């Protein structure tokens, strides 16, 4: 028996939110019977948000079969968030070291196929890449009619994105060019080289989080050396290497792979997979999560 000196029932509720936030524990205390009854009610589970990250289709250099495999995958997977990780367009004539032939190339097909990709993938988030950034530089560095034409191209790309459901257009910017979804951060990528994935993870990730990049066109998962841990991912590209003249004389391009990333977040938890072409088949699973 409890000696509380108070008649009736005293109910004390202890809200004990465990670190996971999953439980509310109510303790009922009777002044007469001293019965302490823990009742555990599960709180609502954090919502599972599914996402896809696809990048580097490079306008008219797109690998159409790979892009179609991505579109079919999205129909099954039904992502809540579709991230385009940048380099949707190639914009070769404005490459800094473009030769005379490249400088005179038309952008018509590049824009047409980049828009085809947007119309089918329907990104809800667009992270501009260094190739789109060439247009921003073009606007900055030109005047008169040429400046107007480049601005019109950029406006046309942005209105195509908005017309196809894009809610966020994020600039190519090492500080501002990052999209966060729970503990997963995504950007286009601001460094190349052997350690690029780990360096991006160390720079951008939260403790226990993940970072996704495109840009380097390879497929990697790297657990980074950092207190609390974090992981970097890159999911390959969706362009045809053989069509890209600048890629032909570099060792690094032998690491290029074709694919994309997908996964989910649930509160502070996350999981990321790579969709990868093996032989003639696309390997991915977990479309039923």
Binding residues for Fe ion, rule: CB under 5 A, are 56, 87, 129-130, 215
Q: Which is nearer to Fe ion, 95 or 122 (CB)?
A: 95
Rounded to a whole number of angstroms, the minimum distance from the CB of residue 168 to Fe ion is 19
Question: Who contacts 143 (Cβ-Cβ below 8 Å, separation ≥6)?
Answer: none
Rounded to a whole number of angstroms, the minimum distance from the CB of residue 85 to Fe ion is 9
Q: Rounded to an integer, what distance in angstroms lies between the CA atom of residue 186 and that of residue 178? A: 6
Q: Which is nearer to Fe ion, 56 or 198 (CB)?
A: 56
Rounded to a whole number of angstroms, the minimum distance from the CB of residue 128 to Fe ion is 10
Rounded to a whole number of angstroms, the minimum distance from the CB of residue 261 to Fe ion is 15
Q: Which of 283, 152, 115, 268 is nearest to 205 (CA)?
A: 268
Q: Which is nearer to Fe ion, 115 or 131 (CB)?
A: 131
Rounded to a whole number of angstroms, the minimum distance from the CB of residue 208 to Fe ion is 27
Q: Which is nearer to Fe ion, 129 or 259 (CB)?
A: 129
Q: Which is nearer to Fe ion, 51 or 133 (CB)?
A: 133
Q: Which is nearer to Fe ion, 200 or 215 (CB)?
A: 215
Rounded to a whole number of angstroms, the minimum distance from the CB of residue 98 to Fe ion is 16
Q: Which is nearer to Fe ion, 54 or 265 (CB)?
A: 54
Rounded to a whole number of angstroms, the minimum distance from the CB of residue 222 to Fe ion is 18
Q: Rounded to an integer, what distance in angstroms lies between the CA atom of residue 289 and that of residue 102? A: 45
């Amino acid at each position: 028996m409890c000696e509380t000196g108070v008649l009736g029932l005293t109910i004390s509720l202890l809200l004990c939110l465990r670190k996971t936030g999953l439980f509310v524990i109510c303790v009922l205390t009777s002044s007469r019977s001293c019965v302490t009854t823990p009742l555990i009610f599960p709180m609502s589970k954090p919502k599972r948000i599914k996402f896809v990250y696809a990048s580097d289709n490079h306008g008219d250099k797109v690998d159409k079969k790979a892009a179609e495999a991505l579109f079919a995958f999205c129909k099954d997977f039904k992502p809540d968030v579709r991230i385009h990780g940048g380099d949707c367009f190639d914009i070769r004539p404005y490459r800094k070291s473009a030769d005379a032939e490249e400088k005179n190339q038309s952008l018509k097909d590049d824009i047409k196929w980049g828009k085809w990709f947007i119309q089918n993938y329907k990104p809800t988030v667009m992270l501009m890449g260094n190739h789109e950034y060439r247009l921003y530089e073009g606007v900055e560095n030109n005047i008169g009619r040429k400046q107007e034409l480049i601005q019109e191209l950029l406006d046309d790309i942005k209105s195509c994105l908005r017309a196809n459901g894009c809610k966020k257009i994020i600039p190519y910017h090492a500080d501002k060019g990052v999209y966060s979804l729970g503990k997963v951060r995504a950007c286009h990528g601001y460094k190349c080289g052997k350690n690029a994935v780990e360096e991006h993870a160390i720079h951008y990730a939260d403790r226990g989080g993940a970072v996704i990049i495109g840009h380097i066109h390879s497929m990697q998962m790297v657990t980074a050396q950092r207190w609390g841990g974090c992981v970097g991912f890159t999911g390959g590209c969706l362009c045809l290497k053989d069509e890209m003249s600048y890629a032909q004389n570099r060792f690094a391009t032998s690491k290029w792979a074709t694919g994309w990333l997908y996964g989910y977040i649930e509160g502070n938890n996350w999981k990321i997979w790579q969709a990868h072409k093996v032989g003639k088949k696309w390997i991915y699973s977990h479309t039923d999560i």
